Amino acid sequence: MKTYSITFLPDNKTIEAAAGKSVLEAAAATGIAVNSVCGGDGVCGKCRVLIKSGKVTAKPNMFLDRLDIQRGMALACQTFIDGDVVIEVPQESRVGGVPQLATEDAIRYGSISGWVGEGALFPHNPLFQKVYLELPKPTITDCVCDQERLYRELRRNRDIGVMQTGLAVLQRLPDILRQNDWKVTVMLGRRGQTLEVVDVEPGNTAAYNYGVALDLGTTTVVAHLVDIGTSKTLATKAKYNSQISYGDDVISRIMYASTAERLTQLRDLVVNDINDLIAGLVVEARVKLHDVSIVVCAGNTTMIHLLCAMNPGNIRKDPYIPTACSPPTIRAAEVGIKINPRGLLSTLPSVASYVGGDVVADVLVSGMMRSEELSLLIDMGTNGELVLGNKDWLVCCSASAGPSFEGGGITCGMRATNGAIERIQLGKNGDVLSCNVVGGGKPLGLCGSGLIDAVAELLKAGCIDRRGRYDRAACGSRLRENESGGLEFVLFTGRETALGRDLVLTEADINNLIHSKGSIYMATESLLDHVGMTFDDLKHVYIAGGFGNYLRIDQGVRIGLLPDLDPAKFKYIGNGSVQGAKMALFSQEALLNIQEQIAGAMTYMELSTSHKYMNEYSSCLFLPHTNIEKFPSLLSGVQKEAEIGVTG
């Protein structure tokens, strides 16, 4: 097959690619992650690249206008190699760098104080322990075998049930014991009901025992390095999940992983991310990689399938059956994670295809399963997961919110990284009064919280009506028609942005957000209805998830994403995944609680079988809702607007 030379700028990386390969595939093969919210289906418009020279064949698309095409702009996934080419990948089309907010989140919400330790909820009883032993030497009257001698000493003063030791350890055991005067450190790892002698080290190494708590998200991977003996967090890091090049959401990833080769490819991408993070953590904390003994991972069901290279195909097919909700604890090296070669990988259990170990961890951290009072937990992302209940029962569901909270499907949407508007305040005619940009400087786009702010502020200013349509009179000169005939509002002109072009919000963008928020709100109402309760019965609402922590509750209520309740009932729980993983790592009792009292007790409700959800979803496609009575705190404002003829 004919191949051509492809050079990517400004990286100046060149590879040979076969004729007909897409620019997106060529970039991924070069290690350049291009935004591909839709996984290369040509429907998100986020993979814009600039063809500087050379021959390509491009399929028509609706995201580029005449001027863009004249400038050489193309969609990477819809453009195919037809000769030697030089391609520039602009900043806004790249996935990369550090997910700023996720990193801050990881640092702000990592504490487990009050959860594990003396006088806390769970005892300090780690999943992986190192025990120093000075064994009595064998004699003619004490002639048990080496393995039994080790077990006998371990069981002294300890309540240990079933134990096992692998052959590789037994093969080395006689020499290690005798060469070290019977003074050794035993590495003990919990694997289900069994305690495994994972390895035996010469001398006393018990003080050097570290673990990694992982939040394996569809968008970001967050890792905390912990000292298992002291329960201290030594370092934290986050990065984007490199699988993003193959789609932003779990469905795109599942579709991509349709062959064994591609499944392994996705597994390797995320394992490389995990290895990068761990390598950075040990350098920062001055810890030897060899002393990292265990990784405990909380992630959604699909991410855990991909990490373990288990076929995720049935997760997206009716009746949505995962391969396993509780994969066994395995050697981390089996999936390619680089820690101590005999170290372990443990994952938190899932409940169903769309309610994973990350949500189970959120529930643990919220404490809702210990309260008499009714609580609701909402984990917001491309999938919104909701859990309702109290100490006696828990019911959960998952709503497909679409990618708009992560900036997908939004003309100037982006993830919460440097350059993203995370907060914005607008005045009359939609004039910008203030704006917070992640990392400072000129804005590049809107992340989820910024998008919600912008729409809520435009609604408050009367620039959009309750259907999300622009009001020409109220918007003034900031409103214009775009090439596809739709209306767009210019939040910032090209001079004010780091984009080099205007930063706009189109009616189609607002419509996408309305669908996302409608899906979450309707799921909440359906879950309550399912158990015969109403919003009035709710005592606490916990907000979890990547962007959830940056969401302003009042703005969430204004657009109808969140129920109109007393603001004091809302509480952010931060990164529950990494916190839950950490608790499980430090306490076998916490893991048991996660397995039995949370995952094992949660009843899953499939929303597609809910008549209420199906029948009433369209009533949520208004700002905030067709029935404004459901939002009493907004009622007076809307009535006032109606009187002066602002609303549609």
Q: How far is the CB of 48 from ligand FES (least distance, A)?
A: 8
Q: Which is nearer to ligand FES, 245 or 301 (CB)?
A: 245
Alpha carbons within 13 angstroms on the beta-carbon side of residue 572 total 14
Which position among 7, 17, 32, 40 is part of the footprint of ligand FES (CB under 6 A)?
A: 40
Q: Which is nearer to ligand FES, 246 or 570 (CB)?
A: 246
Q: Find the largest Cα–Cα distance for the chain.
A: 101
Return the structure tokens found at 48.
């814009």
**Should residue 244 be labelled a site residue for ligand FES when binding is judged by CB under 6 A?**
no
CA 609 – CA 530 distance, rounded (Å): 11
**Sequence-separated (6 or more) residues with CB below 8 Å from residue 301:** 312, 315, 322, 325, 350, 352, 353, 354, 355, 356, 357
**Sequence-separated (6 or more) residues with CB below 8 Å from residue 513:** 404, 410, 451, 452, 455, 468, 559
**Should residue 46 be labelled a site residue for ligand FES when binding is judged by CB under 6 A?**
yes
- Report the alpha-carbon angle 504-508-512, nearest 5: 110
**In sequence order, what are the beta bridge partners of 132?**
185
Which position among 38, 112, 274, 339 is part of the footprint of ligand FES (CB under 6 A)?
A: 38
Alpha carbons within 13 angstroms on the beta-carbon side of residue 181 total 2
**Should residue 45 be labelled a site residue for ligand FES when binding is judged by CB under 6 A?**
yes
Q: Which is nearer to ligand FES, 38 or 364 (CB)?
A: 38
Site string for ligand FES, 306-325 (x = CB under 6 A): --------------------
Q: How far is the CB of 41 from ligand FES (least distance, A)?
A: 6
Alpha carbons within 13 angstroms on the beta-carbon side of residue 319 total 4
Stretches 36-44, 306-314, 442-450, 573-581: which one binds ligand FES (CB under 6 A)?
Answer: 36-44
Which position among 51, 75, 214, 271 is part of the footprint of ligand FES (CB under 6 A)?
A: 75
**Should residue 255 be labelled a site residue for ligand FES when binding is judged by CB under 6 A?**
no
Q: Which is nearer to ligand FES, 408 or 443 (CB)?
A: 408
**Should residue 36 be labelled a site residue for ligand FES when binding is judged by CB under 6 A?**
yes
Which position among 17, 49, 77, 475 is part of the footprint of ligand FES (CB under 6 A)?
A: 77
Q: Which is nearer to ligand FES, 40 or 349 (CB)?
A: 40
Do residues 534 and 525 lie in contact, with contact meaning Cβ atoms separated by under 8 Å?
Answer: no
Q: How far is the CB of 24 from ligand FES (least distance, A)?
A: 6
The number of residues that bind ligand FES (CB under 6 A) is 13
Which position among 23, 32, 47, 378 is part of the footprint of ligand FES (CB under 6 A)?
A: 47
CA 434 – CA 56 distance, rounded (Å): 43
Binding to ligand FES in span 81-120, by CB under 6 A: none
Reported as type and span, the H/E element at residue 422 is strand 420-426
User: Can you tell me which residue has the tokens 């919210």?
Assistant: 37
**Should residue 44 be labelled a site residue for ligand FES when binding is judged by CB under 6 A?**
yes
Q: Which is nearer to ligand FES, 45 or 574 (CB)?
A: 45
**Should residue 430 be labelled a site residue for ligand FES when binding is judged by CB under 6 A?**
no
Q: How far is the CB of 247 from ligand FES (least distance, A)?
A: 8
**Sequence-separated (6 or more) residues with CB below 8 Å from residue 359:** 300, 351, 377, 379, 385, 387, 396, 544
Q: How far is the CB of 155 from ligand FES (least distance, A)?
A: 58
**In sequence order, what are the beta bridge partners of 574?**
544
Stretches 71-79, 127-135, 153-161, 281-289: which one binds ligand FES (CB under 6 A)?
Answer: 71-79
Do residues 366 and 576 lie in contact, with contact meaning Cβ atoms separated by under 8 Å?
Answer: yes
**Which residues make up the interface to ligand FES (CB under 6 A)?**
36-38, 40, 42-47, 75-77
